[in-house]
Amino acid sequence: MAPDETGDELVFFVNGKKVVEKDVNPETTLLTYLRRNHHTANACLFPICALHHVAVTTVEGIGNTKSRLHPVQERIAKSHGSQCGFCTPGIVMSMYTLLRNKPEPNMEDIEDAFQGNLCRCTGYRPILEGYRTFAKNSSCCGRATHGTGCCRSKRENSMNGSCCGGKANGPGCCMNEKEDNVTMMSSSLFNSSEFQPLDPTQEPIFPPELMSQKNKQQKQLCFKGERVMWIQPTTLQELVALKSQYPNAKLVVGNTEVGVEIRLKNMLYPVIIAPTWIAEMNAVQHTETGVTFGAACTLSSVEEVLRKAVAELPSYKTEVFKAALEQLRWFAGPQIRNVAALGGNIMTASPISDLNPVLMASGSKLTLVSNEGKRTITMDENFFTGYRKTIVKPEEILLSVEIPYSREGEYFSAFKQAYRREDDIAIVTCGMRVLFQAGTNQVEDVKLSYGGMAPTTVLALKTCQELIGRDWNEKLLQDACRLLAGEMDLSPSAPGGMVDFRRTLTLSFFFKFYLTVLLKLSKHHNGPNNLCEPVPSNYISATELFHKDPIANAQLFQEVPKGQAAEDMVGRPLMHVSADKQACGEAVYCDDIPHYENELYLTLVTSTKAHAKIISIDASEAQSVPGFVCFVSAKDVPGSNITGIANDETVFAEDVVTCVGHIIGAVLADTQEHSRRAAKAVKIKYEELKPIVTIQEAIENQSFFKSIKKIIKGDVKKGFEESDHILEGEMYIGGQEHFYLETHCTVAVPKGEGGEMELFVSTQNLMKTQEFVASALGVPSNRIVVRVKRMGGGFGGKETRNTILTTAVSVAAFKTGRPVRCMLDRDEDMLISGGRHPFLGRYKVGFMKNGKVKSLEVSYYSNGGNSADLSYGVMDRALFHLDNSYNIPNVSSVGTVCKTNLSSNTAFRGFGGPQGMMVAECWMSDIAQKCGLPPEEVRKLNLYNEGDLTHFNQKLEGFTLRRCWDECLSSSSFHARKKLIEEFNKQNRWKKRGMCIIPTKFGISFTIPFLNQAGALVHVYTDGSVLVTHGGTEMGQGLHTKMIQVASRSLGIPTSKIYISETSTNTVPNTSPTAASVSADINGMAVHNACQTILKRLDPIKQSNPKGSWEDWIKTAYQDCVSLSATGFYRIPDLGYDFEKNEGKPFCYFSYGVACSEVEIDCLTGDHKNVRTDIVMDVGTSLNPAIDIGQIEGAFVQGLGLFTMEELRYSPEGNLYTRGPGAYKIPAFGDIPTEFYVSLLRDCPNSKAVYSSKAVGEPPLFLSASVFYAIKDAIYSARKESGLTEPFRLDSPATPERIRNACVDIFTKMCPSAEPGTFKPWSVRV
């Protein structure tokens, strides 16, 4: 039957309130709907039409700051698990869902619940720590209580400096000096006894109206939008009829694939059919031969059924089920598994599907239905006919899938390798099955199915054919690998790249399968006439499935001195001031600002070519999109179209585009959907020019930005002559995407007179935003007000690059005279806004036999992109940090910024420092290998001492690094663990462990001296409440919290009386960007200065009424006409450096830290596990230990991404492939070290900053290099087994691909690389 012309009503509930929508657009997602109605939800793919008779609960529906927080909200806030807060509602709802389904979870349940959540600020540890309090065994890590490896035994004995080591808690031990020891160390950042208990009886009830609907017969629904019709049939009969009427209609259950195609691939499906209500498609049947699942069964329900079967059936019957469960365990996150359907997974026909190889190798049966009737087919090599195509006819529907039982003598395994273990798409995936003739080790049948090796899931037919009838032994293994290497070949230009890695994986997986089966055979056939070869004991670990230990951690900080007033919060672990609002979804971000009357939405139109002339722009087709208002381009800019830090950029490109993503124009329309559609309809013709994409190409073409910096000290030539050895090498460090959770966003509101405009922007840099907008609009800066409440993360990415969006939005608002809003989608943001600079470092180092460095020559090249932006500053900092923490008597260094056709790269936490130091650690590890000495000894030998001069001739004062080093060595039990690692590596051939200890020294100040200034404005109102404004912005780093603590101590009043509302250009002018880690230093001093001015004015009043309260004094001051408002100002004194003369003082002081990390790598797949990390960090006298430890952990995990996971991939033409979380992987909950210990160095006040504190935002990031070099150490052990002992090159990041390829063995040798230059690679290293 055809649906009638009028659309149906959609009925659902949001937080218990009934919603009835008449004209529903099928293209609207739940996210868009809820945000328009001012709710938030983790629902960016869920179609609103699928919500009929569904109850939706959002973070606002479970608790709020006005009445009461839900325990889930309270605990994440109080345990410091919310920094920028943008990801917090999603994490809160994941935990809430778990507790609704399982009120007493264990720790593993909690970790699994977060597989689909990401956070970029916290490093995840505090979130897990806070939510551990809901777990059954919450007080302890759960490892054999108090046994080895238990958190409690650690905490008492070897925790980072918690104990002096004097016979733990014995006489003379620091732990017993509580009474008179001034520097008591504490490890509790929050008090869990204050948490309100979880009471499941208090949860909102399910709407009774929906309960009563449950058993009623549903009627077919139809919703019609402008372009899409959504039909929800209720019977199989209706569905079959609809599919024959609309054979090209898409069937959608969870929309997890189609939603992505519509959003990112510009696909349009005019008819969508939702089979969710059809009983036959949701049924599960246990048959003689297996379990049959309806095609609409969700992956979560499939998982549940299979798990139950594995528990209840004999083990030999469930081999396939166990393999399927292993794949599902790492399949997306629970949010996706809860809605994605088994049938959708098959019919999507993705070549890298996790489940299809399992279904194909097991010979699962598919039942198809159409008007013609039913047919059952086996999922074999004929099922997939081409890329994303199957033999299913257009009018047919996949009804059900039967996953078979295995038989006696049949074995099954599945493997998957991805960039990140959790919630990631596969690089290569496989299902492997073998059946033996009864009682023998002779192969009767074998199926090897691979994903990621062709445009479809494939069977290795030739190999399988050859193995039938053979004995399962070493000879079979060798032949199988040789055959697979031939059959699973890939063109060196294959889409997806990583060709050598993928080919090697097919062999590695087969080897793991071979060993696994051998182990099982020897168990089953054990007896005197065992036919099997035994598995060597050092090979057994290669068969073990990934297993994660429960996390264990501790954080140590110095308690405040005895006698500090209770209301003086400086030095105490005060909760982030917005944490509770963030946990309830009440915190307002830029795009949460309510929509204005007649507001327009803007979508950018950007270049698809890296370098080209613009021939024509045609917006005529866009005009026919409903709601279209106008197209804006360079000719609409009323002021100057020239912009950028170096005046080398444009607001809108005019004649030439110089990168993919270069902004050419923008479309304005009444809604986001309409403006997106219209932007896609704008047609641009280009005449292509040759692009320069990589550092290598820039060097060949001498394409550089003009200023080339050098630092030269001592006599390098003489240094080399005096050296025993000279080593040369190079290292490449890849770039990094900021991946702040809140993308760039601007709302521009023209005020209608005098060219005034108010801008709400997600930016770290109000001054430049104001200046660039004023210039583009041709008005003075005093007409432009920029306001920032908070950002959902920044990390440097919003220091200058937000201006490219803000200027475009402002020009549009000026042209139309109406408010204009734009928040970039993730893919646009990644394409347009640039990231961390990729670096190439070339070095020549001279050193003595004992490892002492004498002389260094180093050149750095960075990929700056298409404009200068901050690239010079980044290179300056790289040169200042080329020594890391090592004293090098003779240095000659040069830094060159390459000009390329990529989006301009920009500031990113560390600002060139990590790249500079990474190259230093590279030559340092080469030296240790060359000298045959332990790396930690060579590093320690070369460390600076107090009073030494750096290579830029700044004297090191208050040099605490050696204290950090010694404390880290002892708290990490470094030497004892090193022995254990050596033992482990002897006993395991295919798993290796490595460990490394790395120091860092980070210079604190902007390297441009005049930026080291800050202002503040403090108002005291007559009720005694205080409003503070300062020049810094809040992006999760807790700056506002620290400023409230500073003001509270300065004024001597409780923090509850002080409030910070926002940062704005009309309260504090000419602000420096919130960057370079100095914001707490300089704004803290400015706030303190303003408070002192007010106190001075209050002095006479206090003297005349010493017993009065703060409120009394303020009332009197007001009545005496004393001003209760003051500005404060601060600049860092005596800064400045001259590159020509190599003299001056670029930094106010240095922050120091040391980290020791241990990893375990899988030599066959390149996977690695972060086993343990110990960090000791000098943050001076901490203003707020909770915030500082949060910054250390967050920076460390972000660095972990930089050095081991995150890889930007570009085509040779300069097109970015990695444009979203699907292709670009940041660390997830499961990637942090299993044991994670952080200790703040005690008794190290810093006289150069407010209340003796130190900067903490950027310095800890480089400590994650300890993980990279631990990986390198583990690879070295693996290479030794293959007889390779020379230093080897490992570029960053150490992805599974790089790790596997570096572990040279028989399998890598069977897959030789193609000669460079003989093919065009799919991706290039920029």
1321: Cβ contacts below 8 Å, ≥ 6 apart: 492, 493, 497, 1212
Q: For residue 717, what is the DSSP state?
A: H
DSSP characters over 827-865: HHHHHHS--BPPEEEEEEEEE-TT--EEEEEEEEEEEEE
Task: Give, for 1232, the enclosing helix (H) or strand (E).
Answer: none
Are 1031 and 1083 spatial neighbours (Cβ–Cβ below 8 Å)? yes
Interstrand relation of 600-606 and 552-558 (parallel, antiparallel or unpaired): unpaired
Residue showing tokens 């709020």:
64
Residue 904, helix vs strand vs coil: coil
Amino acid residing at 1096: K
Task: Give, for 700, the enclosing helix (H) or strand (E).
Answer: helix 695-700
Distance CA 794, CA 579 (A): 17
Amino acid residing at 5: E
Residue 552 neighbours by CB distance under 10 Å: 21
Q: Active-site positions?
A: 1258
Q: What is the 3-state secondary structure (H, E, C) of 1259-1308?
A: HHHHHHHHHHHHHHHHHHHHHHHCCCCCCCCCCECCCHHHHHHHCCCHHH
Q: For residue 349, what is the DSSP state?
A: T
Q: DSSP H helical segments within 350-449, as ranges?
A: 356-361
Q: For residue 432, what is the DSSP state?
A: E
Are 1086 and 1128 spatial neighbours (Cβ–Cβ below 8 Å)? yes
Residue 1124, helix vs strand vs coil: coil
Distance CA 5, CA 546 (A): 54
Q: What is the 3-state secondary structure (H, E, C) of 178-229?
A: CCCCCCCEECCCCCHHHCCCCCHHHCCCCCHHHHHHCCCCCCCEEEECCCCE
- What is the rounded (10 degree) CA torsion for 68, 73, 77, 80? 160
Are 933 and 899 spatial neighbours (Cβ–Cβ below 8 Å)? no
Residue 1304 neighbours by CB distance under 10 Å: 18
Q: Give Cα 933 to chain centroid, integer Å.
A: 36
Residue 820, helix vs strand vs coil: strand
Establish whether the linkage from the previous residue to 626 is cis, with ω within 30° of 0.
no
Distance CA 1292, CA 266 (A): 34
Are 486 and 460 spatial neighbours (Cβ–Cβ below 8 Å)? no
Angle in degrees, 0-180, between the axes of helices 913-931 and 871-880, rounded to the nearest 10: 30
866: Cβ contacts below 8 Å, ≥ 6 apart: 658, 659, 662, 899, 900, 901, 902, 903, 904
Distance CA 18, CA 766 (A): 42
Joined together, the tokens standing for residue 493 give: 């230009």
Residue showing tokens 């990589």:
694
Amino acid residing at 652: F
Strand partners, 602: 668
Residue 707, helix vs strand vs coil: coil
Joined together, the tokens standing for residue 206 give: 């399910």
Amino acid residing at 123: G
φ and ψ at residue 1025, rounded to 5 degrees: -80, 150
